[in-house]
Structure 1
């Protein structure tokens, strides 16, 4: 059995590595001519680390990133609305959230996958057809044939467009800027992940190495037009000038051309993720806004579940994909919907004060229980 994976991002490479681990052959097709994740960071929460440990790459990834002992939401001057113990950001076996540059994570996965699995770059998927129980994949520059096809090509998935042409994105009305700053945080914040709230704007950051800090900022969409008239760095520095000086310093220490801007969207709920011998995974199936920091983590979880289910040889591809969706649907729906509501409330004059009160008065034991459910991975 040969499995084709469209997309060489975090989800696609994790899936190839998972299939490799259980002895199933796969090939990855990536449209980029070189692997070049944008200059931004990612927070790998304990559920993702549990899968990466199973894949045998966790230790290498942890060495390249920064453990976050504390993740807190604060006011603009970095005063937390609620102090949290470190156990809230780790699971029952001590995995903490790890902040790492996305490019380093992707490269680590790529180096491990490419030891035994083919990764074809410069392969832009255009369509596929199924004939004689085989899938013929068409690319801009050629074609190939596989037995099963997995679409791991992200929120703007071309595979999804082929399967479900009426699927659409949901625009949150929020814009996000992200960057990596050459900067050393004060020791107080070295192992912290922080998100500071102002009036209708948010600014978050964490170290991702000894002298690099990943930062992100979120505002309502009307700022896009305003920001387009001046230098991004200049505009953002002014926008967050009333925040703790760290915000302006991080922005100022980032090249304007390296500040990535994007509207925050998620994927409208799909009734199904699969059709015959083709299945969507990761953001292609259930893209979420980043407010819970679970987008990449859920793609990594998908890799674990789909590979283990494919290993059950008594199931047909259609039965496997049905079972995969059944296993994953409840959790990803919860994450997508909760993240959406979080973003809406955080930028609402009524919702934000309500969320602050909820954070302040919710017992830490309740938060810990909620996090443990989020971090749980089923054993096969």
Structure 2
């Protein structure tokens, strides 16, 4: 059984490793000429860490990233809205959130995949066709055939558009900037993930390596109308000038050309993720806004479960896909919907005060219970 994976990002590479661990051969096809993630970080929460530990990669990720002891939402001067215990960022087994540069994580996965799997770069998927029991893949440069195809090609998935042409994205009405600042945080902040809230704007950050801090800033798109000739860095500096001096220092120590801007979208719920012997995973199936920090984590979970069900039912591929979707649907829907609502409330003049009040009133035990449910993975 030969499985083709379209997309060599975090989800696609993790899927190749999970399939290999389950004794299944796969080939990864990536459209990029070389792997080169944008200059941004990622927070790998305990559910993702469990899968990466199962793949034997947790140690290397810890080595190249920073383990976070606590995640906090604060006011614009970095005073926590609610002081919470460190257990909120770790699961019952002690796995904690690890902050790491996306490119570094992708490189770890890529190097591990190359030990036994094929990865073909510069393979842009164009379309597919069927012949007997095979799926014929047409790329911009060449062709190949596989028995099963997994679409792991992200929110703008070409595979999804081929399977489900009516699969629109949903515009959040918010813009996000991401960057890497060349500096060290004060010792008191080095093991924290923080998100500071102002009036309809947010700024999050954490150390991801020595002299590297990942940060992101979110605002309603209406703010873009106020640019008035300023370059991106000057505009963000002005937008967050009333925030903590540390936040202003982070922006100042970021190269303007390395600040990435994007309008936040998610994917409207698809009735199904699979068709025949083809299945979508990760953002291709259920892209979410980044408000819960679970986008890549859910893709990593998908990789674990798709390998589990395909190895359990190798002769009944459609049945495996059906089980996979049944297993994953409830959790994925919860993440996508909660993340969407979180973003809307956090940027609402009425919603944000309500959220702050709810945070203060919610007992740590309830938060821990919610987090452990989110972090849960089958043994």
Provide TM-score, normalisation by structure 1. Answer: 0.99
Are 1:247 and 2:247 counterparts? yes
Q: Report if aligned partners of 2:8, 2:28 keep a CA contact under 8 Å in 1.
A: yes
Are 1:333 and 2:333 counterparts? yes
1:26-45 equivalences in 2 (<5 Å): 26-45=26-45
Deviation at 1:315, TM superposition (A): 4.8
Deviation at 1:316, TM superposition (A): 1.0
Q: Secondary structure, in 3 states, of the residue corresponding to 2:312?
A: coil
Deviation at 1:227, TM superposition (A): 3.4
Q: Spell out, residue by residue over 1:269-325, the C-alpha distance to the aligned partner (whole angstroms, 9 max, x if none).
A: 000000000000000000000000000000000000000111013651111111100
Are 1:303 and 2:299 counterparts? no
Query: Which residue in 1 is equivalent to 2:192?
Result: 192
Query: Which residue in 2 is equivalent to 1:64?
Result: 64
Matches of 1:315 and 1:284 in 2, distance apart?
Answer: 25
Query: Which residue in 1 is equivalent to 2:368?
Result: 368
Q: Secondary structure, in 3 states, of the residue corresponding to 1:311?
A: helix
Deviation at 1:228, TM superposition (A): 7.3
1:139-154 equivalences in 2 (<5 Å): 139-154=139-154
Structure 1: runs of 5 or more not aligned: none
1:277-288 equivalences in 2 (<5 Å): 277-288=277-288
Are 1:268 and 2:268 counterparts? yes
Structure 2: runs of 5 or more not aligned: none
Q: Secondary structure, in 3 states, of the residue corresponding to 2:307?
A: helix
Deviation at 1:7, TM superposition (A): 0.2
Matches of 1:90 and 1:315 in 2, distance apart?
Answer: 38
Matches of 1:160 and 1:230 in 2, distance apart?
Answer: 38
1:120-269 equivalences in 2 (<5 Å): 120-227=120-227, 229-269=229-269
Count of aligned pairs between the two proteins:
379
Q: Spell out, residue by residue over 1:119-142, the C-alpha distance to the aligned partner (whole angstroms, 9 max, x if none).
A: 000000011111201100010011
Deviation at 1:223, TM superposition (A): 2.2
Matches of 2:228 and 2:148 in 1, distance apart?
Answer: 44
Provide TM-score, normalisation by structure 2. Answer: 0.99
1:6-25 equivalences in 2 (<5 Å): 6-25=6-25
Q: Spell out, residue by residue over 1:122-175, the C-alpha distance to the aligned partner (whole angstroms, 9 max, x if none).
A: 000011111201100010011100000000000000000000001000000000
Runs of 4+ residues deviating >4 angstroms: none
